[in-house]
Amino acid sequence: MGPVHNSHNAQIEQARMLAYRLERLSADSPWAHKASGLRGALLRSLERLENGEGEEKEETANLDRLYHRGFEILAKAAREIPAS
């Protein structure tokens, strides 16, 4: 296993963690609906990548875009959490 394969596995694991965190957003959050749609797209992309469906380079780029968008949503949702 070379560094590229390890990097690929790390990207997949981080995307799974992101999908879990998007799922955990409160339904009361205005970001929950967007998070749900993005989570679905993220999981479909992960599945295609893991199953070797489609062009790997293209699917990796798609996963990267979804990953960054997911963290943007999490950051915006976090800003709306009231301070205790």
- Please report the pLDDT score of residue 8 as a whole number: 75
Summarize pLDDT for 16-55 with one digit per residue, the tens: 999 999 999 988 888 999 999 999 999 999 999 888 888 8
pTM over 0.75: yes
84 found inside a domain: no
Number of domains the chain contains: 1
Q: Is 12 inside a domain boundary?
A: yes
Sign of CA dihedral 67, 73, 76, 78: negative
Q: Within a domain: residue 48?
A: yes
Tell me if residue 42 falls in helix, strand or coil.
helix
Residue 9 domain-assigned (yes or no): yes
> Does 33 fall in a domain?
yes
Which tokens go with 31?
């970001």
Query: Which domain, by its residues, includes 16?
Result: 3-79
